[in-house]
Structure 1
Amino acid sequence: MCAITGLVDLSARRAIDPALLERMNQAQRHRGPDGAGTHLEAGAGLAHRRLSIIDVEGGRQPLFNEDGSVVVVYNGEIYNFQQLMQELEAHGHRFRTRCDTEVIVHAWEQWGQRCVERFRGMFAFGLWDREAEVLFLARDRLGVKPLYFAHLADGHCAFGSELKALMAHPGVARELDLRAVADYFAYGYVPEPRTIFRQVGKLAPGHSLTLRRGAAHAAPRRYWDLPFAPHAFMSEQDAADELIARLREAVRIRLVAEVPLGAFLSGGVDSSAIVALMADLMPDPVSTCSISFGDPRFNESGYALQVARRFGTRHHALQVAQQDFALVDRLATLYDEPFADSSALPTYRLCQLAREHVTVALSGDGGDENLAGYRRYRYHLHEERVRRLLPLGLRRPVFGALGRSWPKADWAPRPLRAKTTFESLARDTVAAWFHTVSLMDDDLRARLFSPEFTRALGGYDCVDVLRRHAAGCPATDALSLVQYLDFKTYLPGDILTKVDRASMAHGLEVRVPLLDHELVEWISGLPPGFKLRGGEGKYLFKKALESRLPKQMLYRSKMGFSVPLADWFRGPLRQQLAATLLGPTLAHTGIFNMACIGAMLAQHGTGRRDHSAALWSLLMFEAFLRNVLRAAGTPLARAA
């Protein structure tokens, strides 16, 4: 795994400042501690930091075609590179290395921008073709690897694996995108293609961007989408057998490495399945790593240990404690943007632990989105049955009134917490899903923001992020729609971002078999009832694993991977949290109603309301302002 960055003059052939390119490259040194390389020519500069995994001796970048006219910098792994190498050699291309990077330049020569359609893996790359005067940027189908870019006022395009590479360029303005700020407090992250800064964008998953010198800026091109194309009829048993066979193949091709390799093991269904298949495929015991918590409500370490013993792994565990709260500033600098998933903290520690033993780790990420493992899918389908029975014109006033009048009871058992359900039933399908996944509801966000910030937004509604994706969903059933929305937003914006930054902070490569695009395509075509049946998520997957894993492990309640924030914020961290959130950093932005923040802290402290997720989002935004923005004055005034 690596880091890439580049500067290309798209208006002329002015010389690239080598010192500037070096600063941009060095900003990402943590992603590639094993070496660095740069290429400079008239009007173009590409740079690379390397974490050596395959062809340790010969895979240095930037890497060129035979005559040096095409050069690439690349982050990721292309698992079918050997097959592509043979195919390209049959077309007359000659290879100097045995690494997957060289496949990209020859694939570009052979197939142009459609080369990405041939790659199976996780990748982000920038390619410069001197003869055609074209900069080609591409990102993998699911968004496992990140790619940022910015069009600068002087005619250059800058790109990089992380925002910090672009922020090292003085021509990239640090002006906040106010809509991105609003999105962050709705979703807990900034969804693609926005970033927190106006001038910088993310290349969305499954997209490429072709920029030609002297031509108008082109829009990114989508080269892949989740198909949801139904399969021909197959029995449940046949589907279960094929699912395991396909996952086994996805795991197998991810075991190629010239460095130590292991796995994350939470004790949940997905990571346990990956470890079980790795144990079948590897001659030596699998190295596994897990994180535990002192609070038993959040602690899956016992299940992880059971799996480790069952498959004879070399198991390593680490406990996360309240003292790790001190990592907040470190996380802010890792993520560059505000990032409100508190599980970033244990993920950071997990990657740190894993790197002590391996250089590559396989994870179980993607199983919940693929196979409908989240509880929210089940609740959404229950609500959809009511929405189908009653028209919106009736639901909106009736359930809207119930939602407004019903007390908010975070402390009560789930069946008595009807307020959220009533509020969802008063909405259309997409708005209801937005209400389900939002970090805080519309009313709380309206009270949190200052009148000045609300006016500056000009009526922007964060639900539009989901509406845009829903309009392009190829599926028609209710479950597939919300899975599709998660694949477009939550998976790349939260889950994969979290793991990428945490792993790269420690020079660790993480591979994700359940997000193999061929497997994802096949699973998308399964009947919804194979994924969620009778309230049981991952129905088919669990059935398929019954011969490999204990039933009590497969069918236990899902715990997730989170920290006990609510208790931490009512305990020893209470005063520190209040001092931070009510201090000058947030107050001086002009974005917030500080009285609302004070009320949230008080309500949470009494235990009557659980504002832990919202308070964490404010904490991370404050840390972003201090550690990343580092600017005097009022962000709202600068960005308006």
Structure 2
Amino acid sequence: MPVVCGLLGLLTGNASAPEYVDQVAKASDLMVHRGPDEPGTWHDDDIVVGFNRLCIIDIAHSQQPLRWGPAEAPDRYALVFNGEIYNYLELRDQLARDEGAVFHTEGDGEAIVAAFHHWGVDAVRRLRGMFAFAIWDTVERSLFLARDPFGIKPLFLATGPGGTAFGSEKKSLLDLLGPLGLGDELDRRAIEHYIELQYVPEPETLHRDVRRLESGCYATVRPGSHPQVHRYFTPQFRTRPLGDGAHQQQRFDEIAEVLSDSVAKHMRADVTVGSFLSGGIDSTAIAALAIRHNPDLITFTTGFERDGYSEIDVAVESAEAIGARHVVKVVSPEEFVGAIPEIIWYLDDPVADPSLIPLYFVAKEARKHVKVVLSGEGADELFGGYTIYKEPLSLAPFERMPGFLRGAAGRLSERIPEGTRGKSLLHRGSQTLEERYYGNARSFDDARLRSVLTDYRPEWTHTDVTAPIYATSQGWDPVSRMQHLDLFTWLRGDILVKADKMTMANSLELRVPFLDPEVFRVAEQLPVDAKIAHGTTKYALRKALEGIVPPHVLHRRKLGFPVPIRHWFAGPELYDWARETIDESRTDDLIDKRFVLRMLEEHRAGTVDNSRRLWNVLMFMVWYGIFVDGSIVPTIEHTTYPVRL
């Protein structure tokens, strides 16, 4: 099976696809980093597709687009595919046994197409993996698009009078807006959402005419029509009591078994598989299980020279404990700043998470040794790992108050001076869960948002994003509702975007065994006291990993990925760069640059920690310089930029 890590297609509405073959090929070149092994194009009268293959499984075969069909029409379907199907061997056996399907390669691509032929759209529910793919049916003249349940792999869409374009990266679609009869206008509401939340929430992008197919969705489209989008997967937290004694231990054992099985399947490859390793329990668990299948496992970590901003020592100790060879990448301030334009180019839309920069560098280091790495993303959302998930317990007394008392607590909090102990507790306790929890990050409160945006619209708020999600979790316990919200917001808006983009930038495939349908099936049943208990988070997961994860990590406090931007913005590492970026930015019609400069000076003086807010706005300014006004031209070694046609 290949991983076609860069797919691109143009479905025309008037049988004019052959006219655009060269244009699609050039636009596809913008994402050659996603699959440098085998680039190419294919077309018929209605559709042209471009693809860039990164060979992982069945390296000598499974070229793209993959043609497959039944005996009476052997080339009926054309597949372009980004991802991995980890249960493809089982699917191939089932399809051959039950449906009489015949296969001509050893890869998973044929399993997808054969499943679609025999099972229709229900095929996507049987795929265990990460994927974004397109299947063109040459008989029905219809296109089927699908994306994995959690949104591990991206898929962008644009539809206009000239047809529909789809692809793995937005930058390539921007080069096809002309044939579609579309423009490249910005989406101001999406910009406001980004500034508020630090990421662009699905299905939006910062360009009005380019959207994303959401996680857990598929779409069908015919020439001359608009895509019809359907959701096939909605995560549900159907909790049941943990039990006690032997029953409780059985639940812990079930977690360990399903995670071990997921890691085993994620290790399937015809190339060497490594593993990222930080100082936390999630990546350590994955590496400890992976080394059972590859005794020569190489693990990778990154950090900074500044004290308190590195988990390298813990990661080295963990690697020694499990017997892995370990590689370390230390990122200097100069490397950090110098890579920002290139990284923003790879991102397509900004993500204001500074940890993606060290992730980019550790991926670059890992690619010198392996083509595939495992990582621990998703464990916090599935098993209750964020400290904020403890908040409903501390606010439980407020939930029992009559409404007028909660309102009084909120009004009292407004009169308490900033920084006074208890002010935040009163304020948050007076709010409902829907009012106070908007996911794991909100850079700007309403007052600052109004100050930083030149055209602030109070009706464009985070509730645009969160309200529909909360509406589907009525009656659940508050912790499950918070996890559910994060699956649709922070996970797919930040965590998985940076994981995909920073590894693919280095032609490295990242696999996430926690984000597996079978692992989720076990995790969704865990009650609150299996997540937040005994003063810790991920309680059940920690119990399940006893004897697998080294003791020095098992109960270690979650730190996230510390990046020293708070110190660097106040010093020579980032201050001068930030000042120059603000001064030269041409975003005056969107951003109040005087307010941003004031935030920078406040931060330098030490009166307010504005580091995350500054990082947020500066990433947008760099993005604008690259993708809007062209004042910033990043150095991209493996392609010619820009290719805008």
Q: TM-score, normalised by structure 1?
A: 0.92
Q: Is the 8 A contact 1:424 1:435 kept in 2?
A: no
Secondary structure (helix, strand or coil) at the match of 2:125 reads helix
Aligned residues: 616
Q: In the alignment, which residue of structure 2 is the partner of 1:617?
A: 616
Using the TM superposition, give the Cα deviation of residue 548 of structure 1 relative to its aligned residue in structure 2, in angstroms: 3.0
Using the TM superposition, give the Cα deviation of residue 46 of structure 1 relative to its aligned residue in structure 2, in angstroms: 1.5
**1:550 and 1:310 mapped to 2: Cα distance?**
7
In structure 2, do the counterparts of structure 1 residues 32 and 550 end up closer, same or farther at CA, with 3 Å as the change threshold?
Answer: closer
Q: Is the 8 A contact 2:452 2:596 kept in 1?
A: yes
Secondary structure (helix, strand or coil) at the match of 1:515 reads coil
Render the CA deviation track for 1:374-432: whole Å, top value 9, x for unaligned: 1111134423x14412345443453244246431x4xxxxxx66444443234321120
1:199 aligns with 2:209: yes
Using the TM superposition, give the Cα deviation of residue 524 of structure 1 relative to its aligned residue in structure 2, in angstroms: 0.9
Secondary structure (helix, strand or coil) at the match of 1:17 reads helix
**1:236 and 1:608 mapped to 2: Cα distance?**
50
**2:549 and 2:349 mapped to 1: Cα distance?**
39
Q: In the alignment, which residue of structure 2 is the partner of 1:185?
A: 195
Q: Is the 8 A contact 1:16 1:44 kept in 2?
A: no
In structure 2, do the counterparts of structure 1 residues 500 and 603 end up closer, same or farther at CA, with 3 Å as the change threshold?
Answer: same
Q: In the alignment, which residue of structure 1 is the partner of 2:184?
A: 174
Q: Which residue among 152, 164, 172 is the counterpart of 1:157?
A: 164
Render the CA deviation track for 1:209-262: whole Å, top value 9, x for unaligned: 1112354x2441110111212357652211111110110000000111111111
Using the TM superposition, give the Cα deviation of residue 556 of structure 1 relative to its aligned residue in structure 2, in angstroms: 2.4
In structure 2, do the counterparts of structure 1 residues 419 and 169 end up closer, same or farther at CA, with 3 Å as the change threshold?
Answer: farther
In structure 2, do the counterparts of structure 1 residues 7 and 400 end up closer, same or farther at CA, with 3 Å as the change threshold?
Answer: farther
Using the TM superposition, give the Cα deviation of residue 463 of structure 1 relative to its aligned residue in structure 2, in angstroms: 2.0
In structure 2, do the counterparts of structure 1 residues 113 and 142 end up closer, same or farther at CA, with 3 Å as the change threshold?
Answer: same
Q: Which residue among 242, 245, 248 is the counterpart of 2:254?
A: 242
**1:420 and 1:179 mapped to 2: Cα distance?**
29
In structure 2, do the counterparts of structure 1 residues 435 and 540 end up closer, same or farther at CA, with 3 Å as the change threshold?
Answer: closer
CA RMSD of aligned residues (A): 2.0
Q: In the alignment, which residue of structure 1 is the partner of 2:33?
A: 30
Q: In the alignment, which residue of structure 2 is the partner of 1:637?
A: none
1:473 aligns with 2:473: yes
Q: Which residue among 112, 127, 131 is the counterpart of 1:104?
A: 112
1:6 aligns with 2:5: no
- Residue pairs, 1:246-261, within 5 angstroms: 246-261=258-273
Q: In the alignment, which residue of structure 2 is the partner of 1:438?
A: 442
**Which AA in structure 1 matches 2:316?**
L
In structure 2, do the counterparts of structure 1 residues 393 and 174 end up closer, same or farther at CA, with 3 Å as the change threshold?
Answer: farther
Q: In the alignment, which residue of structure 2 is the partner of 1:223?
A: 232
Q: Is the 8 A contact 1:369 1:487 kept in 2?
A: yes
Q: Is the 8 A contact 2:6 2:53 kept in 1?
A: yes
**1:331 and 1:613 mapped to 2: Cα distance?**
18
Q: Is the 8 A contact 1:190 1:196 kept in 2?
A: yes
Identity %: 34
Q: In the alignment, which residue of structure 2 is the partner of 1:353?
A: 365
Q: In the alignment, which residue of structure 2 is the partner of 1:57?
A: 60
Q: Is the 8 A contact 1:361 1:510 kept in 2?
A: yes
Q: Is the 8 A contact 1:37 1:60 kept in 2?
A: no
**Which AA in structure 1 matches 2:572?**
P
1:82 aligns with 2:81: no
Q: Is the 8 A contact 1:136 1:211 kept in 2?
A: yes
**2:304 and 2:514 mapped to 1: Cα distance?**
26
1:209 aligns with 2:219: yes
Q: In the alignment, which residue of structure 1 is the partner of 2:306?
A: 295
Moved more, 388-397 or 468-477: 388-397
Q: Is the 8 A contact 2:46 2:223 kept in 1?
A: no
In structure 2, do the counterparts of structure 1 residues 552 and 628 end up closer, same or farther at CA, with 3 Å as the change threshold?
Answer: same
**1:322 and 1:265 mapped to 2: Cα distance?**
22
Q: Is the 8 A contact 1:266 1:300 kept in 2?
A: yes
Q: In the alignment, which residue of structure 2 is the partner of 1:636?
A: none
Moved more, 185-194 or 557-566: 557-566
**1:516 and 1:573 mapped to 2: Cα distance?**
40
**2:13 and 2:435 mapped to 1: Cα distance?**
41
Q: Is the 8 A contact 2:28 2:50 kept in 1?
A: yes
Q: Is the 8 A contact 2:586 2:625 kept in 1?
A: no
Using the TM superposition, give the Cα deviation of residue 567 of structure 1 relative to its aligned residue in structure 2, in angstroms: 0.2
Moved more, 479-488 or 398-407: 398-407
In structure 2, do the counterparts of structure 1 residues 426 and 151 end up closer, same or farther at CA, with 3 Å as the change threshold?
Answer: same
In structure 2, do the counterparts of structure 1 residues 535 and 72 end up closer, same or farther at CA, with 3 Å as the change threshold?
Answer: same
Using the TM superposition, give the Cα deviation of residue 305 of structure 1 relative to its aligned residue in structure 2, in angstroms: 0.8
| Structure 1 spans left out of the alignment, 5+ residues | 410-415, 633-640
| Structure 2 spans left out of the alignment, 5+ residues | 632-645
Q: Is the 8 A contact 1:406 1:418 kept in 2?
A: no
**1:141 and 1:619 mapped to 2: Cα distance?**
32
- Residue pairs, 1:99-498, within 5 angstroms: 99-154=107-162, 156-171=163-178, 172-215=182-225, 217-231=226-240, 234=243, 235-282=247-294, 284-323=295-334, 324-383=336-395, 385-403=396-414, 405-407=416-418, 409=419, 418-434=422-438, 437-450=441-454, 453-454=455-456, 457=457, 459-473=459-473, 476-498=476-498
Using the TM superposition, give the Cα deviation of residue 39 of structure 1 relative to its aligned residue in structure 2, in angstroms: 1.3
In structure 2, do the counterparts of structure 1 residues 462 and 121 end up closer, same or farther at CA, with 3 Å as the change threshold?
Answer: same
Secondary structure (helix, strand or coil) at the match of 1:296 reads coil
In structure 2, do the counterparts of structure 1 residues 535 and 392 end up closer, same or farther at CA, with 3 Å as the change threshold?
Answer: farther
**1:3 and 1:578 mapped to 2: Cα distance?**
33
In structure 2, do the counterparts of structure 1 residues 30 and 429 end up closer, same or farther at CA, with 3 Å as the change threshold?
Answer: same
**1:436 and 1:544 mapped to 2: Cα distance?**
26
**Which AA in structure 1 matches 2:92?**
M
Q: TM-score, normalised by structure 2?
A: 0.92
In structure 2, do the counterparts of structure 1 residues 493 and 153 end up closer, same or farther at CA, with 3 Å as the change threshold?
Answer: same
Render the CA deviation track for 1:423-456: whole Å, top value 9, x for unaligned: 3234321120028631222221122112xx12xx
